[in-house]
Amino acid sequence: MTAPFRIALAGGATPRAVYERLAELNLDWPAWHVWWSDERVVPADHPDSNERMAREALLDRVGIPEEQIHPLRSADVPLPERFDLILLGIGPDGHCASLFPGDPALEATDPVAYVPKPGLPPPHPRLTFTYPVLNAAEAVAFLAGADKREIVARVLSGDKSLPAARVAARETVVLSEGAG
């Protein structure tokens, strides 16, 4: 039996192309257990749902058993002790997951926090993994579009005013389109 691969997916627009490319690969999909690092509090079929986007781009196209897909629909969703990989985006304000500059969720110690007023559109309340979960991961990969070069540079320089710069998993990488 293959060891489980525990991954948390990122939301937003940037990961869609990554998920579509992943769906084309011959991976050990039945070993995957999937969560989301953050989610907008909307129905799963809503156009702004991270779950909907991930299902369309990846999950509906590969062989992950449905019972191994764990949508983030409440703050008490069961989580593994440690994720193998957490995918995160980086917002123009340096946010990651739904941890926005100045938001009380930045100091939360529960695994998942409720964010009633996110710092950027869309304006839906959100659920987000907190630093204890992010920092316990084996690896975190930030997915950043070419338009995020300046904010990525600030994160990599250690600007702790930016939530993404406070992520300290065992291994952290930035995957950026158009890097060079």
pLDDT tens-digit readout, 18-30: 999 999 999 999 9
Q: What's the farthest any 2 CA atoms get from each other in the chain?
A: 45
Give the phi and the psi of residue 133 in degrees, each rounded to 5: -75, -50
Label the pairing between strands 32-36 and 5-9. Answer: parallel
Per-residue confidence band for 39, with pLDDT thresholds at 50, 70 and 90: very high
DSSP of 37-69: SEEESS-TTSTT-HHHHHHHHTGGGS---GGGB
Q: Is the pLDDT of residue 4 over 50?
A: yes
| pLDDT at 62 exceeding the cut of 50 | yes
- Its pTM stands at 0.95
Quick one: average pLDDT of 84-97?
A: 96
DSSP bridge partners of 36: 9
pLDDT band at 145 (very low <50, low <70, confident <90, very high): confident
pLDDT of residue 178: 55
Among 47-51, 142-146, 161-165, the range scoring the smallest mean pLDDT is: 142-146
The mean of the pLDDT values for the chain is: 94
| pLDDT mean over 85-99 | 96
Q: Judging by beta carbons within 10 Å of its beta carbon (0-12, 13-18, 19+), is residue 117 exposed, middle or buried?
A: exposed
Q: Mean pLDDT throughout 107-134?
A: 95
Report the pLDDT averaged over residues 97-104: 96
DSSP state of 85: E
- Report the distance separating Cα 95 and Cα 69, nearest Å: 25
Cα–Cα distance list, 159 to 36, 112, 150 (Å): 25, 24, 12
Closest by Cα among 97, 107, 160 to 129 = 97
Whether the predicted pLDDT of 177 surpasses 80: no
Domains of the chain from N-terminus onward: 5-176 (3.40.50.1360)
Q: Tell me the mean pLDDT in the region 60-76.
A: 96
